[in-house]
Every structure is written in C-alpha cells, then in structure tokens.
C-alpha cells in the first residue's frame, strides 16, 4: 500500500471545501445584493391549484364526465360590509341564504383565529376579514360577467375561475322518459367533499395522498399552512361509482402557487412552484347510447335492471337500472333539493345500482348450475330420461313442478335439454338430490354465483350461497334456485357467459384497460354442449318458456326464471346470449315482482337485443 496515495486523496477531498468557502465569500460578502431578494419584506401566501380531473369516456369516445370551467364567487367581508351591494339578487340567492353563507364564513374565520395564541388573534381576525372566502360555486355566467365588469356595484366580491365536474351526456328521448336522471348514473357515480368522511380525510392526509410531492417543495410548514387555510377541505373526490373506483387515476395531482405581495403596494407576483398534473382519462367498455336505450326499455312501474356483456371478455356494454339520479345534482354545491328527494325516495331507491349492488332470489336460471354439476359429477347423463310426475314428494305440499301447481299436469319423461326447455322442477329436484347440497353449491360458486364477481364498481353485493344442508329437503330447493340463494344480475351474466363462451369464467369490467383474463370454470365441452342445446330450445322450441317473446328472431338462447321472492308476485328473470351459434352478447334482465320470466323479462331482453342491433350492427 502506498502512503502517498492518501496524500493525493487528501488533496482531492479537501480542495472543494475551499471552493465552498469562495462561494460563501461571493454571496455573503462580495455581492450579497445580487443574491438576496427582499425575502423578509414580502408577504407570501400559498394556494393550491386544482388539477384537471380526467374525463370518463365511453367505448366510442363520447364524454360522460368532464371538468368544465365555471365561476366561483368569493367574498371579502370587510369590503362587503362597508357597503353591501345587491349580492343576493345577482347570485340568485334569497337574502336568508346569503346571510347563512356569510355566517358560515364567520365561523370559519373564528375557528382559525381561536387556534392561535391570544396575542395574535386581533391581528389575525382583521387579516382574515380582508381575505376572500368562498361564497358560492358555479355562479351563472351572466352574474359573473356583471360582477367582473361592474365591481363598484357590489364591492368585496371576487370572481375566480374554477373547474366544475359535469356529466353532459343526456339524449332528449331519455330526458322525456326520465326527467331527473342520467344514463348510467350508478356507474359514473359522483364527487363529494373530501371532508364528508372525516376519518377518510384524516387517513388521506396522514398517508400524504392529498399532499403528494408537496413536502419536497414547501415542507411541512407549507402543508400545515395550506391545511389551516382549509385548502384541502375544499377538495372534491370520487364518492360513488367509477368516480370513486378510479379516483386515484382520475384525480391528478394538485399544484402549488405562491402569491407574493409587497405590503402597501398593489404589486403581486404569482410563482408556480409545482405544476398541477391533470388526471388520466378513463375509457370504458360501456356504450352509453345502448345504456340509455336499455334504461328506457326497462322504464316501468316495477324496479328493473339489466346487464349487457361481452361473454368472451367480460366487457360490460350496459349495466342498467330503471331508477336513477342526476350526478350533476350531487357534485357540490349541487342541488340539495334533488339530493334530498333522491334520498327520501325509500321505495324507488334511485341511488341503488340494482344490477350489481343488490341481490335477489334467482329461481330457475340456477338450473344451469344444477345441470352442470349433475353432468360433471356423472350423476346424470345428457340423454338420460327422468320422470316428471307432477309432485316430487308424495306427501308434501311443496316440491312439485309448476305444471302441477298451475294446471295439475305433468311433463312425463324428460331429457336434460327438454327439462331446461320447459323448466321442469322435478327433473332438477332429482338431479339435485343425486348431487347433494355441498357439491351443488361448490359448482355454483365455481360458475360465479354467491360471491362478488370483482366488477370494478364500488358497493357490489356479494349475494349468498348456502354451503351446508340443514334440512333434508334444502338441496331440492337449491336445485331450482330457491332456498337461501341470493344473486346479483351481474353474477347471472357471468354464469350464462360460461356457457356462451365455452367454459370460461370472466370478470365483468367497465374500464377498458382493466380487463382481467378469463379463467376456465372447469366444465367439459360435452356438458357445455348439452346445456346449450337446452338453452337454445328454451327460445326456439314451441314449448320453450321464452318462445313467444320475440327472442327467436335474434337467434337467442337463454333461460327464463320466475323466482318466488316472498312477496305477492315473483321476480321475472331472463338470462341468455345471442346469437346462439356464435354468441356476441350476454343479456340479463330482471324485473322485480314482475311476474313470469317468459312473459315479462324475455320480451324486454328481445327489445334490448333489438337496441343492440341498432347501436352495434354486426
């Protein structure tokens, strides 16, 4: 080892210290004027720059949600109170509303002032009274113009431009059917104040979600000041639907402005120290035109929902519910009256996305799962004939075929496809008894029932699937889709798609890029072929339960269901796909307490297929 090398290192390492000393001489002694600004004399305030929120686009690029420029009115209390102008009139508020808003500003100021030591309070109070506070969002253009061009009419009001979330896509025909709602409202969701959930707000702040990248620029001090001034409290975040689900994508990152002022002069300087980053656009698989048409088709006295999906990928084309709302009313400041009405409507529950957020009794469509389980486990063969003698249990009032209950008739000997075609209960009672409840429920779960499908919508209902048999006859009820089974229409869409696409279980999704790969459900080709033969017969055969519904025209296949729901009337279901030889669309329709599936739901499905043909020509 060479000692002289340490000397060389000493030279290399210590020389730059001399350079730093030279720099000190330069900036502190030689020419301090060139480097010092008027650091201490200027007053600075921090401002958040709200980023442009990403748009939500449908499959054909139509804008479903976007940020629009709007005007907000801010009030400087001191100036306003010296000579109050006709502010209420200009802003279209009642004098009481205006007084309430001013009262709220005073509360905000007091809250801030009380946090500081008593000695500073007087000064701070006076300062805050000279600071503009938000009075009203989204002022009409005319009012904003009037206030901007004639500031002397109404001193103390400041108009600032801001961004307002709006949901613009409403066709006129839709408006006529649903005056107070918007197509796909449950899917889009809406924004809400970040403070409306205090706990979530805390955790967002703690985890730095709201202040990403701020600390490097303005430090903890700066963040604390922004917080004290309520800058984060005004932020809006997704509160429901896709706005919530993809909030982190859509939101973007806020920027920071510093406003420098020389006290006593009007000189102002804006320094952008962190640029706002716009949120990303989100493209959906949804076809909004189809969605609107489907909702119109479903319109009626009974709550109804429908799902249209690509059976091969799980891409959702429409997820409709015939009770909706207008998200424009919900984004603050919104329309409180409309919001209150929507919340008060206990019967219609317009805020509920019925196709995914609520579960229902399924009924006969479950026979698809029963068939699959029976065939896969070898408990029944597709060409095996099982008898239908009307009643299934000799000494029970229950467990009989619907032809027995309604007409005291029986189906006789049936093969699987005939049993599906006529929806014979006794056939499936027998298959269910052979399979057993545990195995049946395992197969139902494998086909997507009784558990969340993983659709990218918040608030998906899980449904229920009985796993253990408590009484001997439980399995009979389950085999025809009654018992404790509860499913969502979107789960049914997954179930039918397994047969439509040749055995793959898809994950329904709305965002184009979020397309999880389908997984094999574990069905053999023979099973699928046998069930599909039955589903085609349901529509095509003259005895089929959906034959008279207009569906044969679309070469559809599917299954109807008339599910006892505890109420006076049964739920009417139809679930199927079209065309039957090369399926392109899965359609599920549910009319709550609507009556017979074949009479009520299947014709609606036919109309949806017609709408599909019009909007998406093959």
Count Cα atoms within 13 angstroms, Cβ side, for 526: 10
For residue 381, count other CB atoms closer than 10 A to its CB.
13
For residue 350, count other CB atoms closer than 10 A to its CB.
21
By the rule CB under 8 A, 20 interacts with another protein = yes
CA 233 to chain centre: 23
By the rule CB under 8 A, 230 interacts with another protein = no
If binding means CB under 8 A, how many residues of this protein chain bind another protein?
Answer: 54
**Interface segment toward another protein; rule CB under 8 A; list 21-29, 406-414, 475-483, 604-612:** 21-29
**Interface segment toward another protein; rule CB under 8 A; list 48-56, 212-220, 389-397, 481-489:** 212-220
Q: What is the crossing angle of helices 367-376 and 489-500, to 10°?
A: 40
Q: Residue 221 Cβ, how far from another protein at the closest point, in Å?
A: 4
Q: Residue 163 Cβ, how far from another protein at the closest point, in Å?
A: 23
For residue 197, count other CB atoms closer than 10 A to its CB.
14
User: Left, alpha or beta for 189 (phi > 0: left; psi -120 to 50: alpha)?
Assistant: left
Q: Which is nearer to another protein, 252 or 603 (CB)?
A: 252
Q: Which of 90, 240, 258, 531 binds another protein (CB under 8 A)?
A: 258
Return the residues of window 374-433 that contact another protein according to CB under 8 A: none
**Interface segment toward another protein; rule CB under 8 A; list 223-231, 336-344, 369-377, 438-446:** 223-231
Query: Burial of 62 by CB count in 10 Å (0-12 exposed, 13-18 middle, 19+ buried)?
Result: middle
The neighbouring-strand residues paired with 70 are 162
By the rule CB under 8 A, 266 interacts with another protein = no
Q: Which of 27, 259, 343, 529 binds another protein (CB under 8 A)?
A: 27
Radius of gyration of the chain (CA): 33
Q: Residue 50 Cβ, how far from another protein at the closest point, in Å?
A: 19
Q: Which of 107, 215, 438, 614 binds another protein (CB under 8 A)?
A: 215
The DSSP code for 392 is: S
| Strands of 175-253, DSSP E | 191-193, 236-238
By the rule CB under 8 A, 173 interacts with another protein = no
Q: Which is nearer to another protein, 45 or 409 (CB)?
A: 45
By the rule CB under 8 A, 259 interacts with another protein = no
Report the C-alpha dihedral over residues 578, 581, 582, 583, rounded to 10 degrees: 30
Return the residues of window 92-121 that contact another protein according to CB under 8 A: 115-116
Q: Which is nearer to another protein, 23 or 160 (CB)?
A: 23
Counting every residue written for the chain, the total comes to: 618
Q: Which of 105, 135, 223, 240 binds another protein (CB under 8 A)?
A: 223
**Interface segment toward another protein; rule CB under 8 A; list 97-105, 146-154, 221-229, 473-481:** 221-229
The DSSP code for 190 is: -
The DSSP code for 368 is: H
Q: Which of 88, 163, 204, 205 binds another protein (CB under 8 A)?
A: 205
Q: Residue 283 Cβ, how far from another protein at the closest point, in Å?
A: 24
By the rule CB under 8 A, 212 interacts with another protein = yes
**Interface segment toward another protein; rule CB under 8 A; list 73-81, 136-144, 211-219, 418-426:** 211-219
CA 504 to chain centre: 25
Q: Which is nearer to another protein, 271 or 343 (CB)?
A: 271
**Interface segment toward another protein; rule CB under 8 A; list 12-20, 88-96, 313-321, 362-370:** 12-20
Q: Are 556 and 580 in contact (CB under 8 A)?
A: yes
Q: Are 199 and 341 in contact (CB under 8 A)?
A: no
Q: Residue 232 Cβ, how far from another protein at the closest point, in Å?
A: 9
Q: Which is nearer to another protein, 200 or 553 (CB)?
A: 200
Q: List, in sequence order, the alpha helices (H) in 25-165.
A: 32-35, 77-82, 87-91, 95-115, 118-129, 141-149
Q: Which is nearer to another protein, 2 or 383 (CB)?
A: 2
Q: How far apart are CA 332 and CA 328, in angstroms?
A: 9
- In three state form, how does the secondary structure of 400-465 look? ECHHHHHHCCCCEEECHHHHHHHCCHHHHHHHHHHHCHHHHHHHHHHCCCCCCCCCCCCCCCCCEC
Q: How far apart are CA 65 and CA 52, in angstroms?
A: 12
Binding site for another protein (CB under 8 A): 1-3, 5-10, 13-14, 16-17, 19-21, 23-25, 27-29, 32, 34-37, 39-40, 44, 46, 115-116, 205, 208, 212-213, 215-225, 227-228, 258, 271-273
């Amino acid at each position: 080892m060479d000692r002289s090398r340490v000397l060389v290192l000493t030279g290399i390492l210590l020389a730059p210290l001399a350079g730093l000393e030279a720099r000190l001489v330069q900036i502190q002694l030689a020419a301090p004027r060139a480097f010092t600004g008027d650091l201490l004399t200027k007053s600075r305030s921090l401002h958040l720059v709200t980023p442009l929120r990403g748009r939500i686009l449908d499959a054909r690029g139509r804008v479903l949600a976007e940020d629009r420029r709007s005007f907000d009115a801010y009030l400087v209390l001191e100036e306003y109170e010296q000579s109050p102008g006709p502010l209420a009139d200009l802003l279209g508020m009642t004098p009481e509303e205006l007084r309430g808003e001013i009262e709220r500003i005073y509360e905000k100021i007091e809250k801030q002032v009380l946090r500081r030591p008593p000695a500073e309070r007087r000064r701070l109070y006076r300062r805050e009274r000279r600071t503009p506070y938000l009075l009203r969002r989204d002022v009409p253009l005319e009012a904003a113009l009037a206030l901007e061009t004639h500031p002397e009419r109404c001193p103390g009001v400041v108009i600032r431009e801001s961004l307002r979330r709006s949901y613009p896509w409403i066709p006129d025909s839709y408006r006529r059917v649903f005056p107070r709602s918007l197509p796909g409202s449950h899917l889009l969701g809406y924004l809400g104040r970040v403070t409306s959930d205090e706990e979530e707000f805390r955790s967002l702040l703690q985890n730095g979600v709201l202040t990403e990248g701020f600390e490097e620029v303005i430090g903890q001090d700066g963040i604390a000041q922004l917080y004290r001034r309520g800058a984060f409290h005004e932020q809006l975040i997704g509160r429901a639907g896709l706005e919530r689900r993809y909030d982190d994508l859509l939101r973007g990152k806020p920027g920071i402005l510093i406003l420098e002022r020389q006290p006593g002069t009007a000189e102002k300087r804006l320094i952008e120290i962190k640029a706002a980053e716009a949120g990303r656009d989100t493209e959906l698989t949804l076809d909004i035109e189809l969605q609107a048409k489907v909702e119109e088709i479903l319109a009626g006295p009974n709550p109804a929902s429908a799902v249209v999906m690509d059976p091969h990928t799980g891409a959702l084309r429409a997820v409709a519910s015939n009770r909706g709302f207008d998200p424009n009313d919900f984004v603050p400041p919104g329309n409180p009256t409309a919001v209150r009405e929507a919340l008060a409507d206990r019967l219609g529950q317009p805020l509920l996305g019925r196709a995914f957020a609520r579960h229902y009794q399924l009924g006969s469509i479950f026979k698809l799962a029963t068939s699959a389980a029976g065939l896969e486990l070898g408990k029944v063969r597709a060409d095996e004939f099982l008898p239908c003698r009307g009643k299934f249990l000799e000494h029970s009032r229950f467990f009989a075929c619907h032809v027995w209950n309604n007409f005291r008739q029986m189906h006789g000997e049936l093969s699987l496809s005939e049993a599906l075609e006529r929806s014979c209960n006794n056939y499936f009672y027998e298959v269910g008894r052979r399979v057993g409840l545990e195995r049946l429920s395992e197969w139902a779960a494998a086909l997507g029932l009784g558990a969340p499908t993983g659709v990218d919508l918040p608030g998906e209902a899980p449904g229920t699937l009985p796993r253990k048999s408590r009484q001997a006859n439980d399995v009979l009820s389950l085999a025809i889709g009654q018992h404790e089974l509860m499913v969502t229409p979107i789960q049914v869409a997954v179930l039918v798609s397994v047969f439509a696409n040749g055995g793959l279980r898809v994950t329904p999704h709305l965002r184009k890029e979020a397309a999880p790969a389908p997984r094999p459900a574990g069905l053999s080709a023979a099973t699928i072929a046998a069930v599909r033969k039955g589903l085609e017969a349901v529509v095509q055969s003259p005895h089929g339960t959906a034959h008279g519904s207009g569906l044969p025209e679309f070469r559809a296949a599917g299954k109807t269901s008339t599910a006892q729901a505890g109420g006076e009337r049964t739920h009417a279901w139809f679930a199927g796909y079209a065309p039957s030889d090369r399926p392109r669309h899965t359609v599920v329709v549910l009319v709550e307490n609507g009556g017979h599936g074949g009479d009520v739901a299947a014709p609606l499905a036919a109309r949806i297929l017609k709408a599909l043909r019009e909007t998406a020509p093959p």
